[in-house]
Amino acid sequence: MSQILKVDSEAGSAHARKVLLQGGVIAFPTDTFYGLAVDPFNLKAVDRIFEIKGREKNKPLLLLISSREQLKMLVKKITTAHSILMKNFWPGPLTLLFEPCSVIPKNVSANSNRIGIRQPGNIMTQNLILALGQPITAPSANRSGEEPPVTAKQVYQYLGNDVDLILDGGKCPGGEPSTLVDAVETPVRLIRPGVIPFNEIEFCIKAQFAHPEAQK
């Protein structure tokens, strides 16, 4: 049976870390909805996410990170546009596409030449990443085609005992998902509308390209 745990202590984070290291699947709150976390370098754990969600194998998984140092280990290049957007919108609900390094397993990237990565603003999410000491996955905690859940109770109603642990962080904001932008090439492209309006992103990039000293 799935355990629902209110996590606000080091002991809770240590338990979550143990579940992830054992290949478990954890539902947890993010900046928008509840997501599903596994160790992205555990191939069987990643496959479990696809099975639980009924997700198509050709859809890459989003990764959440806690620092720029983690990012450098995952991607081939951080462009100027990436740097501008990270400086202005991270941590927060902006997912950026990068070219993945070979260290990212193929079942995470779905053999794509892009991988979505975000630094979350949610404190519980940050603590979960720090407890594991490496990135985590973060697709929404629902079957494909269903509405993403905003409470731990909804996660249980959707997924029942298919997940090993549900971290109850209260109600998530819901609404729009994270904005998804490809900043590998210029001009940047909007892939999925979300919380952060794309015109704000475009304005931010144009303003800082016009005044490069602002990036320092």
Residue range 83-93, pLDDT digits in tens: 999 999 999 99
Q: What is the pLDDT of residue 14?
A: 83
Q: What is the pLDDT of residue 213?
A: 60
Q: Is the dihedral of CA 27, 28, 34, 38 positive or negative?
A: negative
CA–CA gap between residue 126 and residue 37 (Å, rounded): 12
Report the candidate in 64, 200, 81 with the shortest Cα–Cα distance to residue 122. Answer: 64
Cβ count near 162 (within 10 Å): 17
The domain defined by 3-211 folds into DHBP synthase (3.90.870)
* Contacts of 88 by beta carbon, 8 Å cutoff, 6+ apart: 204
Please state whether the predicted TM-score (pTM) of the whole model is above 0.95.
Answer: no
Strands (E), the chain: 3-5, 26-29, 34-37, 63-64, 94-98, 115-118, 136-137, 165-167, 179-182, 189-192
Task: Show the tokens assigned to 19.
Answer: 């579940």
Strands (E), 8-164: 26-29, 34-37, 63-64, 94-98, 115-118, 136-137
CA–CA gap between residue 142 and residue 156 (Å, rounded): 9
Q: Is the dihedral of CA 160, 179, 121, 43 positive or negative?
A: positive
Contact 31, 196 (CB under 8 A): no
Strands (E), 68-209: 94-98, 115-118, 136-137, 165-167, 179-182, 189-192
CA–CA gap between residue 198 and residue 192 (Å, rounded): 9
**Cα angle: 58, vertex 66, 71; to 5 degrees:** 60
Counting as low any pLDDT under 70, the low residues of the chain are 1, 7-12, 211-216
